[in-house]
Amino acid sequence: MAGTESGRRHTRDDVARAALRILDDDGLPELTMRRLAAALDLQPSALYWHFPNKQSLLADLADRIVAQPAPPRTGRDASHTHGAAAALRDALLAYRDGAEVVSSTLALGLGSTTAHDRLTAAIVADGYDADLAARAATVLLHFVIGHVSHEQQRMQYDSLGVVVPAAGLSPQNGGDTADEFAFGVELFVGGLERLRRAPSNLPGGTASPLAE
Amino acid sequence: MAGTESGRRHTRDDVARAALRILDDDGLPELTMRRLAAALDLQPSALYWHFPNKQSLLADLADRIVAQPAPPRTGRDASHTHGAAAALRDALLAYRDGAEVVSSTLALGLGSTTAHDRLTAAIVADGYDADLAARAATVLLHFVIGHVSHEQQRMQYDSLGVVVPAAGLSPQNGGDTADEFAFGVELFVGGLERLRRAPSNLPGGTASPLAE
DNA sequence: ACCTGAACACCGTTCAAGT
DNA sequence: ACCTGAACACCGTTCAAGT
């Protein structure tokens, strides 16, 4: 009874929170302007007083999902980078289709730079210079979003009892998705560490000195 | 005059090719079933004889984009992995919004496993066992798709003359996108090489033996 | 400042029926 | 085997007008 709708007129924050609720309850495809308006007892056109269009609403949701305070992580993380990557994954997993919302917002060049900034800061805290960290953070961010997006798609297939025949990207060897995530982050951190000893070997020279 | 429409009735291949043409000419948002039908001089409902729904059509397009024969790459690649990653990037770049089509198809668990298979084979060819390679290929695939997707979004912004204020994922330091891509692949390969010497250090032990 | 009412210009998809 | 015609059940967005 004492829900999100109580007084009379709504604020931009109300709209965003109602949208987050629909997202989490029923998923991104169900989050239409018309359904959101109905949840707020509003005409669809009223939403356009609060947000210029649907994409900017989604960008706002993406910011909220990413900005979410990180729950205290169990155990010491192996590095700041590991911790920041895991915290970002947790944030994306906290809302249904969270990764997709953030991904599509990023793909349109919208949304804040919070996620990228935090990963960059963590890499810097692990001892790399700001320039390198910023570029590496972009790489890590692509992996994290891609991974969690795939993870969440799998969750909703599982909840529907769908048997996926031989999907190319599913964990192949009985490892669960958290293990696969840790593996990806470890690969990334390993690559960073290798750069620490041999700072420039991109063009020219043998790129794989350890091979054979 | 002698275009895609000549005889009378169309095949599934005709439909897919007409769709690829709309995609490449006008982008993914313009690729609607109604516009596609019009391009083929068909009623929209006719498309549903060839494809059960729009998503399976998009999955077919994704397969075609990825399966595309790789143009001969200039210069020797530093490794099979570098070559396969670059070839995949080229394939995605060959069609407007190519990365987004593949990404959304993957996100729905549709499409073939060609991209993943090829990356896996390349990693195996570089001397890693099949198990590790398959998991690593997933990581690399996430990066490649995320990177190219962002790259293509940027291309269409540039072509519109849009000035993006301070986007968090744009190349920050004057490096072009191809350099950023090479950097990401190098990071990935570096991480793999580190695993070659220390095959298991994920849980337990110091994860960053080189730090400090 | 915040919302209604009504409309515009679209979508994907189904299905009986035609050839 | 391949397509038409007509409909269903939706979308996001605009805009004048109300309070």
Top-confidence residue, B132 or A176 = B132
Instruction: Tally helices (H) and strands (E) across chain A.
Output: 9, 0
Q: How far is CA B208 from CA A136, A178, B46, B100, in A?
A: 17, 20, 59, 35
Residue B14 CA, nucleotide D1 C1', distance (Å) = 15
Tell whether the model's pLDDT for residue B175 goes beyond 70.
Answer: no
Residue ranges and CATH numbers for the domains of chain B are: 2-52 (1.10.10), 66-205 (1.10.357.10)
Token look-up 């979410």 returns A68
- Tell me if B193 and A210 make a contact (CB, 8 A cut-off): yes
* Shortest alpha-carbon distance between residue B6 and chain A (Å): 38
Answer whether B193's CB lies under 8 Å from A212's CB.
Answer: no
**Its pTM surpasses 0.75:** yes
Give the pLDDT confidence score for residue A127 in this predicted structure.
97
Please provide the average confidence, as pLDDT, over all residues in chain A: 87
Which of A34-38, A108-112, A162-166 shows the lowest mean pLDDT across its residues?
Answer: A162-166
The sign of the torsion formed by the CA atoms of A172, A177, A179, A182 equals positive
Q: In sequence order, what are the residues at sequence separation of 6 or more whose Cβ sits closer than 8 angstroms to the Cβ of residue B131?
A: A172, A173
In terms of C-beta density within 10 A (0-12 exposed, 13-18 middle, 19 or more buried), how is residue A45 classed?
exposed
Q: Report the percentage of chain A scoring pLDDT > 70.
A: 83
Mean pLDDT, residues A43-54? 98
Give the pLDDT confidence score for residue A211 in this predicted structure.
37
**Angle, to 10 degrees, between the axis of helix A12-26 and the axis of helix A54-67?**
80
Highest mean pLDDT among A157-161, A207-211, B2-6, B181-185: B181-185
**Angle at B153 (CA atoms; ends A107, A59), nearest 5 degrees:** 30
Residue B47 CA, nucleotide D2 C1', distance (Å) = 10
Choose the mutation target among A132, A193, A200, A212 for the interface with B, i.e. most B CBs under 10 Å: A193
Answer whether B184's CB lies under 8 Å from A139's CB.
Answer: yes
Q: How confident is the model at residue A164 (pLDDT cuts 50, 70, 90)?
A: low
Nearest C-alpha in B relative to A76: B204
| Cβ-Cβ contacts under 8 Å, A194 against chain B | 190-191, 193-194
Q: How confident is the model at residue A54 (pLDDT cuts 50, 70, 90)?
A: very high
Q: Among partner residues A131, A153, A187, which is closest to B107 by beta-carbon distance?
A: A153
* Shortest alpha-carbon distance between residue A104 and chain B (Å): 10
Top-confidence residue, B57 or A172 = B57
